[in-house]
């Protein structure tokens, strides 16, 4: 049982970490808390299927061979995010973080209703990679293949992202911009390039979450990004706003807490798992308002 729990915690936490990274990347470079991230996820989910109001979805892009499908969905996620930046957030570049946040909330409502108009409101059955549910014996546990793939993919993405941030020019510029955007620009770092890059990455990460969600649940629902976005928000706050390693660590931690609550809460309390989780987070923040992994120098700018 305990080994199974470890896999549950890792795969759930991994997905939370990927979603949290999507939030933290954008917050880091432009202090935007992106409330449309959940709809980015939902949009990538629906990109897999042919527009119709039917209860069982007809796969469009989703019917392509996996490598092509994954590339295409990531590109769609990235493209949507870059487009959102260009049309909504670039005109608001100098606005307050509060205005940015409210605008992203409005964008989310817009995207959600666009999906509703195009696909209808009922959740749809989607069978994407149905074979991945098969259990695989790992030591003493039976682990679904999908869970192993998710854990592997998350590890690969985190490693790839870390490498990109550490070794590439755009990665260096993003990290510099996240620390002090004004100074980075004074050194010739192009704001538009860095911000578009962060949005593209964030959108691609949203698409990763979308693929995992569809494969896990077999459902496409316009609301499906919401819960995970909320967890991602919480992870970025707990991780110390804008800290990428903090967001990842907090995402993993919240996944673990969630898996533990699911395993050890009495059955009648399980429906309230998320409520317990959010309550737990508020308690954590009460003890450390600046987040668990806030950088040492974190203080309000005067």
Partner 1 sequence: MSKLGLFDLAVRYGKLTALANLSFTVAEGERLFISGPNGAGKSSLLGAISGAVKAAHGRVEMDGEILSGRAPEEIARRGLSMVPEGRRIFAGLTVQENLLVGTGQRRDRGAVADDLATVFDSFPILGERRHAPAGALSGGQQQMLAISRALMTNPKLMLVDEPSLGLAPKIVDEVYERLCALQALRGLTLVIVEQSSARAARVGGRMLLMRGGRIVADGDAAGFAAQDLLTEAYFGDAA
Partner 2 sequence: MTTQHQIRRRAAATTPVLLILVLLAFVLLVLTFGDRSTARMATDALISVTLVVGFWIFAGNSGVISFGHAAFACVGAYVSAWTTLRPAMKTMLLPGLPAWLAQAEWPVFAAALAGGAVAALLALVTGAAILRLSGIAASIATFAFLAMVNAIWSNWTPVTGGTSSVVGLARYVGPWVALGWAAAAILVAALYAHSASGLALRATREDEVAAAASGIDTFRHRLLAYALSAFFCGVGGALMGHAIGVINPDAYYLSLTFVMLAMLVTGGIGSLSGAVVGVVAVTLAGEALLTLEHGVTLAGVPVSLPPGSQQILIALAMILVLVFRPAGLLAGREIALPVRWVGGRRTDSN
Residue numbers at the binding site for partner 1 (CB under 8 A): 169, 172-173, 175-176, 179-180, 182-191, 295, 297
- Please say which residue, 110 or 170, places its beta carbon nearer to partner 2: 110
Pairing of strands 219-220, 141-144: unpaired
Tell me what percent of the chain is helix, strand and coil, each rounded to the nearest 5: 70, 5, 25
Residue 190 touches which of partner 2, partner 1, none (CB < 5 to 8 A by kind)?
partner 1
Residue 224 touches which of partner 1, partner 2, none (CB < 5 to 8 A by kind)?
none
Q: Which string of b and e fits 212-248 if b means at least 16 CB within 10 Å?
A: bbbbbebebbbebbbebbbbbbbbbbbbbbbbbebbb
26 CB neighbour count, 10 Å cutoff: 27
Q: How far apart are CA 267 and CA 272, in angstroms?
A: 10
199 binds partner 2 (CB under 8 A): no
71 binds partner 2 (CB under 8 A): no
52 binds partner 2 (CB under 8 A): no
Q: How far apart are CA 105 and CA 117, in angstroms?
A: 18
Task: State the binding string over 113-152 for partner 2 (x if CB under 8 A, else -).
Answer: xx-xx-----------------------------------
Q: How far apart are CA 174 and CA 189, in angstroms?
A: 9
Shortest CB 289 distance to partner 2, Å: 5
Size of the site for partner 2 (CB under 8 A): 45
Residue 189 touches which of partner 2, partner 1, none (CB < 5 to 8 A by kind)?
partner 1
> Which H or E run contains 163?
helix 145-167
Shortest CB 110 distance to partner 2, Å: 4
Q: How does DSSP assign 189-205, residue by residue?
A: --HHHHHHHHHHHHHHH
Stretch near partner 2 under the rule CB under 8 A, chosen from 49-57, 93-101, 141-149, 191-199: 93-101
- Please say which residue, 286 or 302, places its beta carbon nearer to partner 1: 302
Shortest CB 160 distance to partner 1, Å: 19
Query: Is 235 within 8 Å of 277 (Cβ atoms)?
Result: no
16 binds partner 2 (CB under 8 A): no
Stretch near partner 2 under the rule CB under 8 A, chosen from 52-60, 138-146, 168-176, 286-294: 286-294
């Amino acid at each position: 049982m305990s080994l199974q729990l470890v896999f549950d915690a890792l795969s759930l936490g991994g997905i939370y970490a990927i979603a949290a990274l999507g939030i933290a990347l954008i917050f880091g470079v432009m202090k935007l808390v992106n409330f449309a991230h959940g709809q980015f996820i939902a949009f990538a989910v629906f990109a897999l299927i042919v527009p119709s109001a039917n209860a069982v979805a007809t796969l469009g892009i989703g019917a392509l061979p996996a490598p092509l499908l994954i590339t295409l969905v990531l590109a769609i996620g990235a493209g949507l995010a870059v487009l959102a930046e260009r049309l909504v957030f670039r005109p608001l570049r100098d606005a307050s973080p509060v205005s940015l946040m409210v605008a992203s909330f409005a964008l989310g409502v817009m995207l959600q209703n666009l999906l509703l108009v195009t696909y209808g409101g009922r959740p749809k059955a989607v069978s994407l990679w149905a074979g991945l549910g098969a259990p695989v014996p790992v030591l003493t546990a039976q682990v679904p293949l999908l869970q192993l793939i998710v854990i592997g993919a998350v590890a690969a993405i985190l490693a790839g992202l870390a490498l990109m941030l550490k070794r590439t020019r755009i990665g260096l510029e993003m990290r510099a911009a996240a620390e002090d955007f004004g100074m980075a620009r004074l050194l010739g770092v192009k704001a538009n390039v860095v911000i578009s890059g962060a949005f593209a990455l964030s959108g691609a990460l949203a698409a990763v979450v979308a693929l995992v969600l569809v494969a896990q649940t077999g459902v496409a629902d316009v609301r499906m990004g919401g819960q995970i976005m909320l967890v991602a928000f919480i992870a970025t706050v707990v991780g110390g706003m804008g800290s990428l390693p903090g967001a990842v660590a907090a995402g993993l931690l919240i996944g673990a807490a969630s898996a533990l609550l699911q395993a050890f809460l009495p059955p009648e309390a399980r429906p309230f798992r998320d409520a317990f989780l959010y309550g737990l987070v508020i308690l954590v923040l009460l003890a450390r308002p600046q987040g668990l992994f806030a950088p040492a120098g974190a203080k309000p700018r005067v």
